[in-house]
Amino acid sequence: MAQAAATGRVALMSIHPRYARAILEGRKTVEFRKRRLADDVTHVVIYSTLPDRAVVGYFAVEGQETSTPASLWGQFHDRGVIDESDFFTYYAGRDRATGIRVGAVTRLRTPLSLTLDLGVAHPPQSFQYLPSDRFAKVLAAA
């Protein structure tokens, strides 16, 4: 069983499959979001959306940067595995953007079902906080 020092909260995050793969492969080291995570979040569980529809891994949160989209792009464009046009379309009409710095990444041996294995009825639109007993199930699958 994998070990993770989850001293704070854990977020379950919906991530498109191409970005989830890039995180698991170590190519994507910043996850861009419209909303900042709570400061006490230590880990993010990766739910790979359609067509995968599975929890595929998790990563430690190294930190977060919140600034204007232009500033965030300037700082992290080479670490986010996203085209500039897609980035600015995602943040259209927003004056704030958050980059979550990806730390140590763990791929699950076997992907988990959100509903059957973790008891989560619906995937989060962006993210939701995951109870510690459910994160323990993720750790057991690593």
Amino acid at 137: K
- Report pTM: 0.94
CA distance 127 to 13: 4
- C-alpha distances (whole Å) from 54 to each of 37, 58, 132 are 21, 12, 19
Looking at the DSSP bridge assignments, the partners of residue 56 are: none
Domains and CATH numbers, the chain: 9-131 (2.30.130.30)
Lookup result for tokens 């698991």: 24
Residue count (the chain): 142
83 Cβ contact partners less than 8 Å away, ≥ 6 residues apart:
none
Cα dihedral sign for 79, 85, 90, 96?
A: positive
3-state DSSP call for residue 22? helix
**What pLDDT, on the 0 to 100 scale, is given for residue 3?**
53
The pLDDT profile of the chain, 142 residues, written as one tens digit per residue, is 455 555 699 999 999 999 999 999 999 999 999 999 999 999 999 999 999 999 999 999 999 999 999 999 999 999 999 999 999 999 999 999 999 999 999 999 999 999 999 999 999 999 999 999 999 999 999 9
